[in-house]
Structure 1
């Protein structure tokens, strides 16, 4: 078991854990929750040995094998399959032992090595690795592609697959669902349910936590509190606990007031001095129950739209995509859809199938390539871009964004554009004091998301287009967004991998895939089952091809080798050249961003190492400023390469 006994843990000058004590039993699936900055990732660093406790004792069984997702961007020409197989460190060690035995021509050692390899699962290592890769959203044709041929987001998926490939007794997962689409998320959830070891996971996805955890560990006020059950159970128990705490605090305050009144009244009287003194001591001995000073939750609401055109949109024989060098690249075609007042539409589909393209076209940031999109009279769109920087200027501050927005709307604005009114409005979104003058480029992802929401609310839209609005939001803010959307009287079109939000908000679903948009006849549970069935089918087909044909796996139509004609080979080569010509400039941007992120991560590690050493307060302050700037730059660059990754996905999907 894992035991923390009176553990104190600092990160620089900040005390994150103060004499924390908790026990985690073998086989438990633990959700680690707490507000941003509470110390969740730092606790992971303690568990994996990269940090040491400042006080107390942290104990993990020495025989336990540990697995976690490496945070570095892999740079290798290894195939995706070989890279993931290398995550099984025991298997790799045994392969090396066999190679040495064969080199020494030691028959006995070779026999032992073969037996050990059989026990370690050598016979099905390829199929196990490829099941992980396909489950996380890769195509069969990509199984033998070099790791370096993938963009950053997909390489991080390979890092996740590599961690899952590693036999382990303890699995540490820090935000494993980041950048996964719903298809891959559902598969990962199913895999983790079968994981036999002890797992600790950090996530802001409540439905994911509910599905894969049975214990919740809450970090608050530098303490660790253990709750039996998943995240929803934790919320219920914590609410009851806070209610009892508030009642106890109120009663205690009444008792303190009564004691204080007695002391004040009779302390000066000789006849009552003894009783008054005893009450002073009782007051001093009384355990102070902390008042429930829960941090103010971020809440907001969308104001009633000024009008509700019906239909909001009419789409006729439209094709959506983008233009490159004057050439149309169609991703979705023959779209015939109407969007009515009050509809709440969830948009489903795998990465690269065109969900963002659809939303961007409706939001007027991309033109349709064919057909007609007719807007209802008085249509007012509120658009939340997947990458907040699509609509934000990094050098401007929140107040400047609001002033410019007010000028753009002019007399059509629903609210006053006076500077003080804009300041007051920003204050309701937790942009108070100097924050209204802070450059957006230095803000966290969550702060940028809040600013975009503020700008949308201020415009008083009647159609909301939301493309992954929860990517940078914590659980409390996601809940606030869900409540606000449920009270919104207009129309909502939502792209999200947050199933709790989709369930709470959407009444119907559209499925985007294979170049078309069609209604999905079912709910999210049906969609999850559909995704699991598809994932299972792909794994079985990949396994069959690997067993039947010892060649590079290909897209599966038949379980037999496909002999291509010379004409088809020419067409494939031309297709690859066309794709390469389109993605090459984007890949250069991605490579530079990845190098910049690697450099910043090295600087970050160096600073964190220095902060863990005894240094002066002045040095701590300076290093803290440097670390903040590095984190801000990392967030900005990551958002940029995520957008470029999505662009490549859409380009490649348009050729399939």
Structure 2
């Protein structure tokens, strides 16, 4: 199975479903993805391409990051050591090459220098360097909805919306595909008016709104530099060039037409335009679509340091965990606080199928009495065996998850990366890989047993 960015344009619930399906998949999987949590849950090896070479790492993405960090630290130490040795050899050659008594030794060192396999300096390819400007003069509250309804035309998708956004608030919106998250963001941004109720802005509110449709509003025949000048004609071109460089628009790319740009490049430009306007409220609807891991990481860091308010819709769980302090659930045509984290949201999505897909009762049907419940059937011997197997698998998953958490905490200790602890580090990494593999296999077996149990019923 070959997958190239399978989570792009999927909502979080679809990503979670696909993640579960791929973990139960028995075939070979080769995948490109920029979703850290998705990679952590699904893959057991990472193939890293750098400098036109491919290197295979064992473990998930987090294990790859730790192994590569250790490798880069070792490479840098070897580079520094080799540079000292090269400097010493060159010094000797320069001093004694012209002396007859030392000519043979000097030639020997020249040959040694030529044979030496050069160690390159360790570096991480991260072409992005930007941050949000500090918001100035934020009103309190920033924005309020009072019993508002949102939708399209005369059709209300959401009703009874009451929300107060204050400076520094960091809110994530959760909900199934089609529940109305983007509709709510559009209402908050002022892109659509409330069908009823009130939307009230604080004096001095400055909104930064990002959504995928904004990429289509970029002028295809104009350049990133033109877009910046159009936004702020008073700023010098060189200042814009320096700023755009932080989004990896260097040299000719800053003056090239936007039309041929990739989706990721257009998203970076849209974010650059948004950040330049110094908003005190960010409304972000799937900002990581099309972005690679390096840009996602840079955006996550910038948002975590941003001092203004954020309302975020995203299928990127790493971004949601890092940026959001609170969550709201968009469901059943309304908005309510969600008392929990993303793990609790996964459990909410995994509610019994009848609770998820039960038909809505129309007003005409409310007077019809419900049929009497079917007599409860006792589980068959096969079903009882499956239930016992599921219980054992769940117990083992809990044990493995606990051990993995302890190993992750151990591997986060900087002391473990000292030279004296190398053997302990290798043992921890090996055990972490073993635990991750066993946990993935146990979860796949649990899913298979659940499917068998559903069929037996």
TM-score (norm 2): 0.76
| Residue 118 (structure 2) pairs with residue 288 (structure 1) | yes
1:98-150 deviation digits (Å, cap 9, x = unpaired): xxxxxxxxxxxxxxxxxxxxxxxxxxxxxxxxxxxxxxxxxxxxxxxxxxxxx
Distance 2:275 2:4 in 1: 32
Select which of 341, 351, 374 maps to 2:200.
Answer: 374
Which residue of the other structure, out of 310, 315, 318, is the alignment partner of 1:497? Answer: 315
How far off is 1:339 after superposition? 0.7
In structure 2, distance between residues paired with 1:440 and 1:267:
57
**Aligned partners of 2:97 and 2:107 also within 8 Å:** yes
Correspondence 1:271 to 2:101: yes
Contact map agreement 2:47 2:55 (CA 8 A) in 1? yes
The equivalent of 2:221 in structure 1 is: 395
Match of 1:208 in 2: 38
Q: Is the CA contact (8 Å cut-off) linking 1:344 and 1:491 kept in structure 2?
A: yes
Task: Report the Cα distance in structure 1 between the residues aligned to 2:225 and 2:2, rounded to whole angstroms.
Answer: 41
Give matches, 1:478-493, under 5 Å.
478-493=296-311
| Contact persistence 2:281–2:309 (CA under 8 A) | yes
Match of 1:297 among 127, 130, 133: 127
User: Of the candidates 227, 235, 241, which is equivalent to residue 417 of structure 1?
Assistant: 235
User: After the TM superposition, which parts of structure 1 deviate over 3 Å for at least 4 consecutive aligned residues?
Assistant: 536-539, 555-558
Q: Distance in 2 between matches of 1:229 and 1:465?
A: 35
Q: For structure 1, list consecutive stretches of 5 or more residues without a partner in the other structure.
A: 1-170, 408-415, 542-554, 566-656
After superposition, the C-alpha distances for 1:514-565 in whole angstroms (9 at most, x for unaligned) are 211111111100001111225x4479x7xxxxxxxxxxxxx6469xxx9x99
Where does residue 156 of structure 2 map in the other structure?
A: 330
RMSD over aligned Cα atoms: 2.1
Tell me the CA shift for residue 174 of structure 1.
2.1
1:467-495 deviations in whole A, cap 9, x for unaligned?
Answer: 10000111111111111011000000001
Q: Output the CA distance in 2 between the equivalents of 1:291 and 1:492.
A: 39
Tell which has more relative contact order, 1 or 2 (C-alpha 8 A, sep 6+).
2
Q: Would you say the 8 A contact 1:403–1:417 is kept in 2?
A: yes
* Residues 126 and 294 in structure 2, CA contact (< 8 A), matched pair in contact too: no
CA distance 1:512–1:537, shift in 2 (3 Å): same
Q: Equivalents in 2 of 1:420, 1:283: separation in Å?
A: 43
Partner of 1:465: 283
Q: 1:420 to 1:277 in 2, by over 3 A?
A: closer
- Is 1:317 equivalent to 2:147 in the alignment? yes
Could you report, residue by residue, the CA deviation over 1:269-300 in whole angstroms, capped at 9, with x for unpaired residues? 11001111111111111111122243243121
Structure 1 residues 538 and 201: alpha-carbon distance in aligned structure 2, compared to 1, 3 A threshold: farther
Aligned twin of 2:342: 524
Query: Aligned to 1:308, what secondary structure does the other structure show?
Result: coil
Inter-partner Cα distance in structure 2 for 1:302 and 1:367: 28
Q: Tell me the equivalent position of 2:79.
A: 249
Asked whether the 8 Å contact 1:385–1:391 carries over to 2, the reply is no
**2:273 is the counterpart of 1:455:** yes
> Quick check: 2:72–2:123 contact (8 Å CA) kept in 1?
no
In structure 2, list runs of 5 or more residues that go unmatched: 366-457
Verify: 1:442 aligned to 2:260, yes or no: yes
Pairs aligned (count):
364
Residues 37-48 of structure 1 aligned to structure 2 (within 5 Å): none
Change beyond 3 A, Cα 1:537–1:202: farther
Cα distance in 2 for partners of 1:218, 1:405 equals: 39
Residues 224-243 of structure 1 mapped to structure 2, 5 A cutoff: 224-243=54-73
TM-score by length of structure 1 reads 0.53
Match of 2:210 in 1: 384
CA displacement 1:280-331 (0-9 Å, x = unmatched): 11111111112224324312111111122111111111111122xxxx1211
1:420 offset after TM fit, Å? 3.0
Is the 2:8–2:290 contact (alpha carbons within 8 Å) kept by the matching residues of 1?
no
Give the match's secondary structure for 1:440.
coil
**Is the CA contact 1:187–1:532 (under 8 Å) kept in the aligned structure 2?**
no
1:589: which partner in 2? none
- CA 312–214 in structure 1, closer or farther in 2 if over 3 Å, else same: same
Structure 1 counterpart SS, 2:29? strand
Cα distance in 1 between the residues matched to 2:57 and 2:168: 40
User: Could you tell me which residue of structure 2 aligns to residue 512 of structure 1?
Assistant: 330
After superposition, the Cα gap between the structure-2 partners of 1:224 and 1:428, relative to the gap in structure 1 and judged at 3 Å, is closer
Q: Distance in 2 between matches of 1:390 and 1:518?
A: 32
Residue 198 of structure 1 aligns to a residue whose secondary structure is coil
Q: Distance in 2 between matches of 1:403 and 1:222?
A: 37
Counterpart of 1:405 in structure 2 is 231
Equivalent residue of 2:212, what SS? coil
Q: How far apart are the structure 1 equivalents of 2:16 and 2:249?
A: 36
Tell me the SS of whatever aligns to 1:271. helix
Aligned to 1:648: none
- Mapped partners of 2:45, 2:82: distance in 1: 32
Work out whether residues 127 and 247 of structure 2, in 8 Å CA contact, stay in contact via their aligned partners in 1. Answer: no
| C-alpha deviation, 1:231, in angstroms | 0.1
CA distance in 1, matches of 2:287, 2:270: 9
Aligned mates of 2:9, 2:271 — CA distance in 1: 21
**Is the 2:175–2:329 contact (alpha carbons within 8 Å) kept by the matching residues of 1?**
yes
Match of 1:261 in 2: 91
- Give runs of aligned pairs for residues 528-539 of structure 1, distance below 5 A: 528-533=346-351, 536-537=353-354
